[in-house]
Amino acid sequence: MDRLTNTIRPYAWGSTTAIAELLGVEPTGEPQAEMWMGAHPGAPSRTGRGPLDEVIDEDPARELGRAAVARFGPRLPFLLKLLAAGAPLSLQVHPDLEQAREGYEDEESRGVPIDAPHRNYKDANHKPELICALTEFDGLCGFRDPVEAADLLAGLGVDSLKPYVDLLHAKPQEGALREVLTAVLTADPEQMAATVTEVTAAAERLGGAYAPYAGIAHHYPGDPGVIAAMLLNHVRLQPGEALFLGAGVPHAYLDGLGVEIMANSDNVLRCGLTPKHVDVPELLRIVRFEATEPGILRPEATPDGEEVYDTPIDEFRLSRFVLPEGAASHDLTAATPQILLCVAGSVRVGDAGELAPGQSVFVPAEEKTEVSGVGTVFRATVVA
């Protein structure tokens, strides 16, 4: 097995302290948004044998196991991250597998450069994801019931929001949400900026349920995504709780530290809260306009002490072991590839030795592996 050296991404929305505190090092003073663990070509983990993507390329069946290669191809199907949000991320959705393949093939056939700022599809894969909170974690996930969204907007007392309120009351659910989001994202920029300024002032004055949106507006003044965000459910996770985000579900992370796992893809369509490209027609093709409950996940314990976060996705499976003083070791040997990440205490993983918080290892398929110690370790693997 291989101890991993991982890249920390300095995106502007990242916390300046959360990842450093977990690692037990001094903060740099710069944002540290994500620590990537895996074989994504954009920032592969490094091992004593070389970059993890190159290690896997040399012998996929050995590293990943024949079943995983047969099902997902000769690459690690997931990307594991520590995610530390100090400011809201962009409001976004991800395509399903068919939509991703269609979009990627279309942009390839039109010769859109892969690094073009207006390109939507970097690959032909979907990007379902799961975020598990390590601290209290705020986010937005899925559409509210249109009537609830209408009441929230109406409570601000901003006249220019009245057409949206009326639409949300008047139409069936899907039509109401589609028309309002379309209207918000295609409105005259100057008029929308003025509306968002009024909304911000009202949200700051009212507080309570409006406080998260006042915070968003502070980071993205005048952005139409502030109004779009109010159409979504606000969620606050407690440590150990998680959210699964499937295709077409609009979402954004606002604040907190968590462990995130996703299918190995980079496909994002943005709805706002960003200076980056927003492709409204393609976005409207991908978004699922249905009101949903956020569906907070709590881990389900197995008889051997593994706590599993159940999702409908096979490209990844996330679980954790919370190891108390005097606990027996756990045999984690599996026919699939694994990444093990310590987030608390001190745990021993096979011949890789002791892991402190923030340290991780890659375990090839069939590699004999035991975990012991006192602490918490997350286990990322696949269902093959």
Distance set, CA 48 to CA 9, 81, 178, 336 (Å): 21, 20, 51, 21
The single residue listed with the structure tokens 């006249």 is: 159
Q: Rounded to the nearest 10 degrees, what angle do helices 146-154 and 173-186 cross at?
A: 40
Helices (H), the chain: 18-23, 52-58, 60-64, 66-72, 97-109, 146-154, 162-170, 173-186, 189-206, 211-219, 225-229, 280-286
Q: Which DSSP category does 16 fall into?
A: S
| Phi and psi at residue 9, to the nearest 5° | -90, 130
**What is the Cα–Cα distance from 342 to 263, expressed in whole angstroms?**
21
Q: Are 340 and 332 in contact (CB under 8 A)?
A: yes
Bridge partners, residue 354, by sequence: 348
Q: Which of 75, 270, 320, 379 is catalytic?
A: 270
**What is the Cα–Cα distance from 120 to 127, expressed in whole angstroms?**
13
Q: To the nearest 10°, report the CA torsion of 123, 125, 128, 131.
A: -40
**What is the Cα–Cα distance from 250 to 296, expressed in whole angstroms?**
16
Pair of tokens at residue 255: 């604040």
75 a catalytic residue: no
How would you label 327-348 residue by residue, b for 16+ Cβ within 10 Å and e otherwise?
eeebebebebbbbbbbbebebb
Bridge partners, residue 381, by sequence: 317
Q: Are 253 and 190 in contact (CB under 8 A)?
A: no
**What is the Cα–Cα distance from 44 to 4, expressed in whole angstroms?**
10
Question: Which residues form the catalytic set?
Answer: 270
